[in-house]
Amino acid sequence: MKTKPFNPFDYMETQEEINEFLIECFNDDDPKVFIGALNHLVKKHGVADIAETIGVNRESLYKSFNGKVSPRWDTVKKVMKVLNVDLTHAA
């Protein structure tokens, strides 16, 4: 049987659910939890499309969110803006 990697965003239906989940990840003591969550969201929306929109190449975006390096904050903010992520409104 062939399986695909788990992506929590496959099970969220609204932007509110996505934002609530990301707020929880952001508040985790380990910053890699938030970056990993953003990685899943970027993959859900298409790495190539997000990369083109924010003006970086696809490989750079993959590397930024693969968990092996710390992404630049300006890259994180650009990705969050493109994906309509709002960490200011908790439910």
Residue 42 forms part of a structural domain: yes
Report residue 32 as tokens: 């890699």
Query: Is 61 inside a domain boundary?
Result: yes
Question: Is the residue at 34 inside a domain?
Answer: yes
Of 27-31, 53-57, 84-88, the one with minimum mean pLDDT is 84-88
Q: List the domain range (segments joined by +) for residue 53.
A: 15-82
3-state secondary structure of 23: helix
Is the residue at 32 inside a domain?
yes
Domain count, the chain: 1
In a domain? residue 74: yes
Residue-wise pLDDT for 31-59, tens only, equals: 999 999 999 999 999 999 999 999 999 99
Q: What angle (nearest 5°) sits at the alpha carbon of residue 23, between those of residues 13 and 76?
A: 95
pLDDT of residue 5: 87
* Structural domain includes residue 8: no
Task: Give the Cα separation of 39 and 47 in Å (integer).
Answer: 9
| 62: in domain | yes
Report how far residue 16's alpha carbon sits from residue 33's, in angstroms, rounded to the nearest whole number.
19
The model carries a pTM of 0.86
Assigned domain for 91 exists: no
